[in-house]
Structure 1
Amino acid sequence: MKNQFLIVRAQQVWLELAGVPVTFPAEGTQVVVSERSLLCPPGWSGIVTLGNAAIITVPADGIAELVRERLGGLPVAALTDPDRVCRALPVAEVLGPATLAYCDKRDFPPTDPGVTDAIPAGHADLATLLAAVPPDDADECGLAEITSPAFVVRSGTHIVAAAGYQRWPGQAAHICVLTAPRQRGRGLARVVGGAAVADALTNGFLPQWRARPEPSRRVARALGFHELGTQLSIRVTGLSAPGRGSPVE
């Protein structure tokens, strides 16, 4: 399979986030109890599919039994379908699904490094951009948590688009992109996103693009990303357990 190498690398990222020893089966689903899982918010259950396999972390033994019973017979592709999962389980809340896409140097198109500027992650101009967009956009993009430089496009002195990445376990670079609302539709997300991806590849990281809306997915595909899996988080009604914060909330 052309993308098998990418799938194996991507699986390692999520195995490290699971918080307990677990493996992706050759096919099918593996369910484990993990109060420390970072696949989902604390007390939730996290479902990640990559290729023909899935892992599911749950916060308690009782939920594990229920999930194995109700989801064990579903095809892997159905495990991140909210309608199918909600029909099978007593779900109180859902986050996602989000598409998981990855790329390597072979498929990444050349970029023009002269189009963007690089500034430190904590730069005041980046904070100004984040403060100027709706709070949901600022939270969703993840730029406040990047560990790389921010790659930006300016209009005059103002940043109108920015991208960077967060270092994740498994040598992953989780790409974060934001364009000012009035500047969208001009291809700026591809420009700054491409600069961030190029930097991640140069440093030997695995670029990861996690997206829900189709416009973001289109940008990722234009940059050579392959959609290899999906992620869904669920909170099962009446069954919860303490947990820790998650980079994928």
Structure 2
Amino acid sequence: MPVDPLLLGARGLWEELARVPVAFAPAGGVTVVVSQDSGLCPAGWVGAVALGGSSIVTAPARSAALVRDALAGLSPEHVVNDTLVRDVLPVARTLGPAALSYVAPEGFRPVEAGVLPVEHLPAGHPELRRLEMAAGDEDAGEAALNDITSPVFVVREHGEVVAAAGYLRWPRRTAHIGVLTAPAVRGRGLARVTGSAAVAHALAAGLLPQWRARPLASRRVAAALGFAELGSQLSIEIDRSVRAGMPGPAG
């Protein structure tokens, strides 16, 4: 059966981000490789991405053997389940899991701006910093408006920016979408409005929009815009006391 082009694009992106030769197994399964400079996770961590019933995992050299043995008994979907991974690995911290969603032009469901028009600002504009302060460090860090390379699409209320979205150019012509809404106006569809504008801009540029989200509310926004949830990403920090006592790789 042919693989969905959307899934092929997503897999190609994460294979490149692994920064070593690796591929999602067509028949499924978990592939663990050594990568000292992996883009699947923070430096020195273990990164796991599951897409379409297959997973790739990157690990530093000193923990690769442990990770490979521990994950051998897990399914591709289970290696991005932080609870199950903690059962088989000495985990200090995790980031995620975060759902990975993508949309093709024919699947996109744009949202009209309505009574609050959408404007755009350059990344780094002072008004965006005020929105980040209102949203709090965790949500602002997730949206990463400061990293956006596209115009930032915003909605104002009473002159203040209360919602914003844009994207960062990732490898393989991917547009990594970031959306942030002020707590006081959440639940009113403003994330869909600004997110729609950012996605439309990315598609017009011939890019593949990616929506990475942990909160259910954000995942619902992606689904409303036509994104298909294809998999998940999990980053794992191995407990240092265990890693320190492990032998180096053979050979």
The aligned runs of 1:222-237 (5 Å cut-off) are 222-237=224-239
Contact 2:120 2:152 survives alignment (8 Å) = yes
Instruction: Single out whichever of 74-83 and 109-118 deviates more from structure 2.
Output: 109-118
Contact 2:48 2:79 survives alignment (8 Å) = yes
Instruction: Single out whichever of 102-111 and 51-60 deviates more from structure 2.
Output: 102-111
Give the match for residue 213 of structure 1. 215
Quick one: distance in 1 between partners of 2:34 and 2:44? 11
Question: How far is the alpha carbon of 1:213 from its aligned partner?
Answer: 0.8
Question: How far is the alpha carbon of 1:112 from its aligned partner?
Answer: 3.2
Give the match for residue 12 of structure 1. 12
Question: How far is the alpha carbon of 1:187 from its aligned partner?
Answer: 0.4
Any stretches of 5+ residues in structure 1 without a counterpart? Answer: 241-249
Query: Is 1:178–2:180 an aligned residue pair?
Result: yes
Provide TM-score, normalisation by structure 2.
0.91
* Selected match of 2:132 from 130, 133, 140: 130
Residue aligned with 1:76, SS = coil
Question: How far is the alpha carbon of 1:210 from its aligned partner?
Answer: 0.4
Any stretches of 5+ residues in structure 2 without a counterpart? Answer: 245-251
Residue aligned with 1:235, SS = strand
Question: How far is the alpha carbon of 1:155 from its aligned partner?
Answer: 1.0
Give the match for residue 50 of structure 1. 51
Provide TM-score, normalisation by structure 1.
0.91
Quick one: distance in 1 between partners of 2:123 and 2:239? 39
Question: How far is the alpha carbon of 1:113 from its aligned partner?
Answer: 6.4
Q: How many residues align?
A: 239
Residue aligned with 1:15, SS = helix
Q: Kindly, what percent of the aligned residue pairs are identical?
A: 53
The aligned runs of 1:1-249 (5 Å cut-off) are 4-26=4-26, 27-60=28-61, 62-112=62-112, 115-238=117-240, 239=243
Question: How far is the alpha carbon of 1:120 from its aligned partner?
Answer: 1.2
The letter for the 1-side match of 2:52 is: G
Residue deviations 1:58-94, cap 9 Å, x none? 011x422112211122111111111111111111111
Residue aligned with 1:227, SS = strand
Moved over 6 A (4+): none
Quick one: distance in 2 between partners of 1:188 and 1:226? 20
The letter for the 2-side match of 1:72 is: A
Give the match for residue 243 of structure 1. none
Structure with bigger RCO (C-alpha 8 Å, 6+ apart)? 1
Residue aligned with 1:79, SS = helix
Residue aligned with 2:105, SS = coil
The letter for the 2-side match of 1:196 is: A
Name the Cα RMSD after superposition.
1.6
CA spacing shift, 1:182–1:81, aligned 2, 3 Å: same
The letter for the 2-side match of 1:191 is: V
Question: How far is the alpha carbon of 1:2 from its aligned partner?
Answer: 8.8
Instruction: Single out whichever of 145-154 and 102-111 deviates more from structure 2.
Output: 102-111
Quick one: distance in 2 between partners of 1:54 and 1:13? 13
The letter for the 1-side match of 2:230 is: L
